[in-house]
Chain A
Amino acid sequence: MPAPLLEMRQIVKTFGSLRANDHVDFEVQSGEIHALLGENGAGKTTLMNVLYGLYQPDGGEIYWKGEKITLHSPRDAIRHRIGMIHQHLMLVPNFTVLENILVGLPSPKEPFLPIQETLTRLEDFAAQYGLPIDPTLKVKQLPLGLQQRVEILKALFRGADLLILDEPTAVLSPLEVEEFFAVLKNLVGKGVSIIFISHKLDEVLRISDRITVLRQGKRIGTIETRQATQPILAEMMVGRAVALDHSFPKGGAAQPILELKGVSLTRPKVGRVLKEITLTLHSGEILGIAGIDGNGQEELADVVCGLIPYSAGQMFIEGRSILNPTPRKMKAAGLGYVPADRQRVGLVKNFSIAHNLVLKSFDAPPFNAYGFLREKVVRLNAQQIIAEFDIRAADLLQPVGELSGGNQQKVILGRELKLAQRLLVAVHPTRGLDVGATESVRQFLHAQKQKGIGILLISADLDELLAMSDRIAVLFRGEILGVVPGEAASLPAISRMMLGERLEATA
C-alpha cells in the first residue's frame, strides 16, 4: 500500500478529566472516502477538530503527505489544503450567501473583494456539481438544506485535497443526499480524499471505501466497507448487538386532539409559505409530515407551537378554538416541541444541563417555590432525564455547549418529551443521533403514543416516517398534497407528492 495521505498517530485530547480522544490512530489513503463512525460523544468531532487545527492535541502526531506537521490554527489546515464542513454550520446568518463564501478567501485584486470572479465561479460550480444557489439571499432566509449547500460551496472554493465532512447529511432530505453523494463521487474523481461522518449506517455502507469506528474516545478498528454490514458496525460502535430495524405497531387513534382548518401563513417578501392547511391529529396517533426540506415543515411546526401567528384559518385543541396561540398558551395546553434548529432555538449553551432541562418549567412547581428555584428538585429532574435518555456528560452542571452534538439534542428531547402531556411536535427528532439513541427515541415516541398523546412527526427520513407514522401527509410548497397510510406501500405515492404531483387517494 502506498504511504497514506494522512496519518494521525496516538492522538490524545482531554477536556478536564474527560478523555475525548484516547491514543487514537487514524489514517486516510489518497482518493478514498473514509467513514468515521461512533456513538454520540465517541470523540469524532474532537478528532476532526484536532486535524483542522481548532484543538491542540495533548499528545500524538500528525503526518500529512508523508511529513510531520503541526496545526496551530485552521489557517495551517487551509494552507495544507485540508477543508472541513462542521457539524454545526459555520455560517453568518446576517451575511449573504456570497459574503459567506467570500470571507477569508484570498483575492486576486486585494484589497477589493473578488465579487465578479466569485459569481462566475459559483455558476461554474453550480452547473458542474448540481449545486445551484441564489448568492444574493441572506443565509438566515435559507432552509437548513440550502445552508448546508453554502457550506459545501465554501469548502470547494477554498480547494482541498482532504475534505472533512462532519455529519453533512444530517440536515439533508433523501433526495438531497443522493445529489450530495454525486457531488462526493465527483470530488473523489478529481483527486479529493474525504472523511465522512454520519450516523446513518446505510449511507456509510453505500458511499465509503473504509470505515473506522471510535468508542468512548478509543479506536475500535478499521474495516473495508465491502466486509461490513449494519449489524457488524452497530456492534463495533456500541459494544454489543443492537436491534436495528424495528417496526412499530400501528393504530390506536382516538378522538381528534389538534385540528387545523385552512391555516395559511404569509411572510413578508417570501409570500405564502403555508397554504390552507387542513389537518386533524388524533390522540394516540402519530401523524407524519413528509416533504423536501424548505416546503413549509418548519413553519408548520412554528405555527402549531405558537411561535409564529398564522395569517388565516383556525386552530382547535380538543375541539376548542385557540385564538392567537403563543408558546406559553400551547405549553399550558400540554404541547411539547422539538424544534429543527436546536442550536439556535432550543438551548442556552452557557447554562448547565440541569437548567436547560427546566427552561420551560422553572416558573412553576415542583421546580419553583415562592419565586425561588428549587435547585434540589431541578437536579433530581436532571439526574432522571440524563439516565433515561442516556445523556453522556461529565455531570449535570456541565454547560450544554460542551456536550457532543448528539448529546445536546438528547437534552432538548428529554425536556420536551416530558412536557408533552397531550401533544408533541417533533421536527427531525433523531437527526444527528447515533443508532442506539435513535432507537430509544423512537421507542419513547411510540410509548407516548400508546399513552394517548398525539404526535406530529416532521422528518426528512422517510424510513423513519414509514416505520412510525399511522398516517403521512406530504407538504409541497406549503400545501398538503395528500395524506396516505403509514405503510411501505405508500412510498411511491409519497415520493411523487414530494416532487409536486397531486394525488386523489387520501386516508
Chain B
Amino acid sequence: MEEVVWLTFLVSLLAAGVRLATPLLFAALGGITNELAGVLNIGLEGMMIAGTFGAYIGALLSGSEWGGALGGMLAGGLLGLLFAYLSITWRGDQVVLGTGLNIFALGLTSFFFRSMYKAGISQFVPSFQAWNVPLLSDIPLIGQIFFRQVPLVYLAYMLIPIATFLLYKTTWGLKLRCCGEHPRAAETVGVNVVKTRYLALCLSGMLAGLGGTFLSLGQISAFTEGLVSGRGFIALAAIIFGRWKPLNVALACLLFGVADALQLRLQGFGLPIRYEFLLMFPYLLTLVTFIIFVNRGDSPAGLGKPYPEK
C-alpha cells in the first residue's frame, strides 16, 4: 500500500516537473540559438514576460488559444528584433541592454494590463487543454508522466531534435555557430554576420514568447503580473548546465522543473520550514549551477562581443 502511494506521488511529481520544465525549455532553446550566434541575451526573461501578455491579448482577440500562441511569439519576436537593433546596429552593451529589456517588458506589460483592467483582474480566455496522445498515453507511468499534457508540451519535445538538427547538422547551423565563435572568420567566408545574428535573436524572442504563452495559456487561462518570475534566468542557467546542446539543456530544464514541482509539493506537506525557503529551492539550484559550470570554458568564443569590432 505504502509503495502505491509513493508511486502515485512520484508520477504526479514527474508529470508536474515535465509541465513546469516546458516554458524553461522554450526559452532555453531560444537562448541557445542566440548564444551560439554570439549574442548574450540576458533579456530572455523580458521576452517571456512579453510572451505571457502577447499570448493573452492574442487569445482575447482571436478567441483561440492558438491565436494566443501567435500573439506570444509575435510579442517575443518583436522584443528580439528590438534587442538586435540596439545591440547589433547600435552596438550597445549586451548585458546592459538585456537587463534593460527585462525592466522594459515588465513595465510595459503592467502598464497595458492596468490600463485595461482597473481592478487588476483579467478576464478568462481560451487556453490549452490537456490532450492525451493516443496509444502513448496508455503506457503505464511513462504515459502519465509525458503524454497527458497540453499540446505545447509536445511541441517543446519536438523542438529538441529539430533544434539539434538545425544548429548542429545543417549549413545554416554551422554558419550560425561560426558567427558565435569567430565572427570575422565567418565574414571572410561570405557569411552575413549581422543578418545571422538578427535572425537568431528574432527566433530566440519567438521561442521565449512561446515559453511565456505556456505560462498564461497553458497553466492558467488568464494574465497576471509576475507569471514569469525569474524563469528566463533559470533558462539561462539550463543552457550553461547543458553546454549549449539542446538535449542536455532539455534535461537540465527537466531537473529545474522537477525541483520546482517538488518545492510546490513540499509546501503542502506542512514541513516545519517556512515556505519561503522552499520557494527558493529552484533558484538556489540555478545559482549553484552558475557557480559550478559558468567557467568551464566551452562557451562560444565570440559570445557577448559586438561585431564588427569597431
Contact = CB atoms under 8 A, between A and B. Distances in A.
Interface stretch (B82-90, B164-172, B255-263): B164-172
Interface in A431-450: none
A104 B178 contact: yes
B190 A112 contact: no
B141 interface: no
Nearest to B298: A94
Interface stretch (A73-81, A193-201, A245-253): A73-81
B192 interface: yes
A54 B170 contact: no
B111 to A, nearest CB: 40
B175 A104 contact: yes
Interface string B21-65: 000000000000000000000000000000000000000000000
Contacts of A105: 171, 189
Contacts of A90: 182, 184-185, 188-189
B309 A74 contact: no
Contact of B172 (A106, A111, A158): A111
B301 A93 contact: yes
B186 to A, nearest CB: 7
B174 interface: yes
A105 B298 CA distance: 25
A95 B181 contact: yes
Contact of B186 (A84, A93, A94, A103): A103
A64 B64 CA distance: 58
Contacts of B251: none
Contact of A74 (B169, B170, B187): B187
A378 interface: no
A110 interface: yes
Nearest to B171: A107
Interface in A106-121: 106-107, 110-113
Contacts of A401: 309
B174 A99 contact: yes
B169 A113 contact: yes
Contacts of B172: 111
B191 interface: yes
Contact of A112 (B169, B182, B301): B169
Nearest to B185: A90
Interface in A68-104: 73-75, 78, 84, 86, 90-95, 99, 102-104
A215 interface: no
Contacts of B175: 103-104
Interface in B269-310: 298, 301, 309
User: Most chain-B CB neighbours within 10 Å: which of A73, A90, A92, A110?
Assistant: A92
Contacts of B190: 73-75, 78, 104
Nearest to A76: B190
Q: Mostly helix, strand, loop or mixed at chain B's interface?
A: helix
A103 B189 contact: yes
Nearest to A401: B309
B187 A112 contact: no
Interface string A149-173: 0000010001000000000000000
A384 to B, nearest CB: 28
A401 B192 CA distance: 22
A102 B170 contact: no
Given A92-B182, A95-B178, A104-B178, A86 B170 contact: no
A466 to B, nearest CB: 37
A154 B189 contact: yes
Contact size range, B? 20 to 34
Contacts of A92: 178, 181-182, 185, 301
A103 B187 contact: no
A362 interface: no
Contact of B182 (A84, A91, A158): A91
Contact size range, A? 20 to 34
A180 interface: no
B298 A113 contact: no
A104 B187 CA distance: 9
B178 A103 contact: yes
Contacts of B170: 110-113
B263 to A, nearest CB: 37
A337 interface: no
A52 interface: yes
B97 to A, nearest CB: 20
B189 A74 contact: yes
Contacts of A74: 187-190
A52 B192 CA distance: 15
Contacts of A86: 188
A107 B171 CA distance: 7
B192 A110 contact: no
Given A112-B169, A113-B171, A54 B181 contact: no
A96 B174 CA distance: 11
Contact of B174 (A75, A91, A103): A103
B169 A104 contact: no
A319 B11 CA distance: 70
A104 B184 contact: no
A86 B185 CA distance: 10
Contact of A91 (B177, B185, B187, B192): B185
A95 B182 CA distance: 10
A497 B166 CA distance: 50
A74 B193 CA distance: 12
A94 B192 contact: no
B177 to A, nearest CB: 8
Given A104-B178, A110-B171, A94 B187 contact: no
Contacts of B184: 90
B170 to A, nearest CB: 4
Contacts of B298: 94
A102 B174 CA distance: 8
| Chain A to chain B: the 9 pairs with minimum beta-carbon distance, closest first | A104-B189, A90-B185, A111-B170, A75-B190, A92-B181, A103-B178, A92-B182, A78-B190, A90-B188
14 contacts: A74-B189, A75-B192, A90-B189, A92-B182, A92-B185, A93-B181, A102-B174, A103-B191, A104-B186, A105-B171, A111-B170, A112-B169, A113-B174, A154-B189
Given A90-B184, A92-B185, 6 more contacts: A93-B181, A99-B174, A104-B189, A104-B191, A112-B169, A113-B169
Interface of B: 166, 169-172, 174-175, 177-178, 181-182, 184-192, 298, 301, 309
Interface of A: 52, 54, 73-75, 78, 84, 86, 90-95, 99, 102-107, 110-113, 154, 158, 401
